[in-house]
Chains A and B, each alone.
Chain A
Amino acid sequence: MESDVLVVDDSAAIRKILQRVLRQTGMAIGNIFEAGDGKEALALLGQQKVSLVMTDINMPNMDGLQLLAAMKGAPDLSTIPVVMVTTEGGEAKVGEAVRLGAAGYVRKPFSADQIKEKLAGFLPGTTPS
């Protein structure tokens, strides 16, 4: 069974790279949806059911932490794992992501192997690394 994934980043370059990397992992991934900020992501999540959200933290309009908080507060979205993909390595932001319920954290720059390792266990049919 294939899983749909939502990639949220204000950088079209990163969205494109993540699309490519996700396809390279060999995981059973179906549609990969894209959003440029948290607001776009929430609007899309109202229309599409996904198995995983990968989001940047620093974005205009609504950042990744605000998106995470909004998802955890919405009964129909709260169980979707959210993996933060960001340059932010500061304890303050990482700690906030943990407190809000982030499922994982990938620091930019990332390799395909790092993405695959971090996503293992979050998609149906995969096991934690």
Chain B
Amino acid sequence: MNLKDDLVRSFSHAVEELFSTMLGAKVVPGEVTVEHQAPDAHDGVISIIGLAGSWAGTGCVTCSPTVACRFCSQMLMTESTSVNEEVLDAIAELTNIVIGSVKNDLERELGPLGLSIPTVIYGRNFKTKSAAHAEWYARRFHWDDDVFEVRVCLTPSDRSATLQPHVFGSASLAD
């Protein structure tokens, strides 16, 4: 398993599926970056969700207020012109679905992972800090002329964690 490649592929699959299924929109995956710290001073909206298990970390979505309002408007079929509770809730759900999908992909290699409840922050010139000393894998997405970014930081939470495929018992639900 190559964590970076798998994450980047998973980001694209999760975002494209969400936009095509629930918004009837198309996004274009863009630049991939690897950074050694959390996002710098930031204006706009950042939604953060925790991942925990044999590997642990953080997933986040960052975007401008304009993109947040556009996403909410299209997802809920409403007219959102300013960042309010409904917009923040929509971005939280975007994060939950995208990072949740990434989590599901990663679990095939890393074993069961837990997902926290997302937290969304909207403001100006704020800085985030993660206590984890790991790389952030980020991918930009272009939605027409708008841009948003998905990023994940993930690191083994104990020495026994490996990148071996994880085997689960079988279970199914009736379709």
Binding site for B on A (CB under 8 A): 10-14, 16-17, 20, 58-60, 84, 86-92, 94-95, 97-99, 102-105, 108-111, 117-118, 129
Contacts and interface: CB of A to CB of B under 8 A. Distances in A.
A97 B89 CA distance: 26
Contact of A89 (B18, B22, B104): B104
A58 B21 contact: no
Nearest to A99: B171
B63 to A, nearest CB: 15
B58 interface: no
Contact of A95 (B21, B96, B113, B171): B171
A38 to B, nearest CB: 14
B175 interface: yes
Given A92-B168, A94-B171, A13 B21 contact: no
B135 interface: no
Interface stretch (B69-77, B123-131, B137-145, B149-157): B69-77
A41 B174 CA distance: 24
Contacts of A117: 175
Interface of B: 17-18, 21-22, 72, 75-77, 85-86, 89-90, 92-93, 96-97, 100-101, 103-104, 107, 112-113, 115, 117, 168-175
B171 A60 contact: no
A110 B117 contact: no
B86 A118 contact: no
Contact of A118 (B93, B117, B169, B175): B175
Nearest to A89: B104
B100 A88 contact: yes
Contact of B100 (A12, A17, A94, A108): A108
A13 B72 contact: yes
B102 to A, nearest CB: 10
Given A92-B112, A111-B21, A102 B100 contact: no
Given A14-B93, A87-B104, A109 B169 contact: no
A94 B117 contact: no
